[in-house]
Amino acid sequence: SIASADMDLNQLEAFLTAQTKKQGGITSDQAAVIAKFWKNHRIKIHESLINQSRWENVLKNMNWRVDLKSQSRHIDQINTPVAIVEMELGKNGQ
């Protein structure tokens, strides 16, 4: 629950307090250990979950620009914006 919600320290404290008050829940010592572990490894755990949830390709790079037409046969097409987007995809982990 902690990892999937990517809890910040306030949410973590509230969650662990609720778990210690539950019947059959965790002890306050266990809550302290979990909190310390989460504080030290939160970023690694979050990145691992993201990597596990990816399928195949990932976005490696993206370039974009907006062009305006300055000449055209038809006057209503002048100054019409056109967005050009270039995305580079790659395999996960490469």
3-state SS string over 43-87? HHHHHHHHHHHCCCEEEEEEEEEEEECCCCCCHHHCCCEEEEEEE
Q: Which amino acid is at 17?
A: T
**What is the pLDDT tens value at each position of the chain, 94 positions in all?**
898 888 998 999 999 999 999 888 899 999 999 999 999 999 999 888 887 777 777 788 899 999 887 777 777 777 778 899 999 888 766 6
pTM given for the model: 0.54
What pLDDT is attached to residue 39?
93
Q: Is 32 left (phi over 0), alpha (psi -120 to 50) or beta?
A: alpha
